[in-house]
Amino acid sequence: MNSLFNQNQVVYSLDSSTLFDAFKWYPIDNFPAFWYKIEELIASDRLKMAEVAFDEVMKDERVREWCNQHQLIPSLKWETDAAIQNKASEVLLEFPRLVDARTGKSAADPWVVALAMMSENCIVLTEEDPTNAPHRPKIPEAYNHFDVEYIKLVELIRTENWVFNAEVGR
């Protein structure tokens, strides 16, 4: 298991759709302080993406450009190893419908959950809400099943006590 999980600090497992949403809701040009804080979390090894989720987001030109410009890839990407493969298998055994190529469901979802399962101090960042429908689960159902904590971006801002000040009208 990677040494970052031996730390007392909280580590966040980033869902790929949350990163896409962040680019949509918090454009870098309008929210530079937000993105600076995200980059700080990545640089301090506190924000990670499972390799499968990471590969998914790197298909987006904006994300790829941002990662390359700020040299975030080595710190953001969590390489697949036997431990995370085992956890992802556990998730898929319980929730085989998390991945469904026919409906376009992300193959990364089990890996996001698996990364969070690797430590008690890992919280998932997701914007998804539970469906409460066994025939079409989303990743929050898996989080709940495996007792994995998850929060949304706005809760990350509160949890990390980020404050963004602006001098309005000056």
DSSP the chain: --GGGGSSS-EEEEPHHHHHHHHHHS-TTT-HHHHHHHHHHHHTT-EEEEHHHHHHHTTSHHHHHHHHHTT-HHHHEE---HHHHHHHHHHHHH-GGG--TTTT--TTHHHHHHHHHT-TTEEEE--------TTS--HHHHHHHTT--EE-HHHHHHHTT------TT-
Q: What is the pTM of this model?
A: 0.84
Between 6 and 99, the higher pLDDT residue: 99
Residue 106 pLDDT > 90: no
Report the pLDDT value the prediction gives residue 3, as an integer from 0 to 100. Answer: 46
**pLDDT band for position 97 (cuts 50, 70, 90):** confident
Q: Mean pLDDT over residues 133-162, rounded?
A: 84
Q: Inform me whether the pLDDT recorded for 69 exceeds 50.
A: yes
Distance of CA 66 to the CA centre of its chain: 16
pLDDT for 120: 81
Percentage of the chain beyond pLDDT 90 is 58
User: For the chain, what is the mean pLDDT?
Assistant: 85
Q: Does the pLDDT value for residue 86 go beyond 50?
A: yes
Query: Residue 124 above 60 pLDDT?
Result: yes
Domain 10-159: what homologous superfamily? 5'-nuclease (3.40.50.1010)
Grade residue 127 by pLDDT with cuts at 50, 70 and 90. confident
Q: Which residue has the higher pLDDT, 107 or 61?
A: 61
How is the chain split into domains, by residue range? 10-159
The band of 128, judged by pLDDT with boundaries at 50, 70 and 90, is: confident
Q: Average of pLDDT values for 18-44?
A: 95
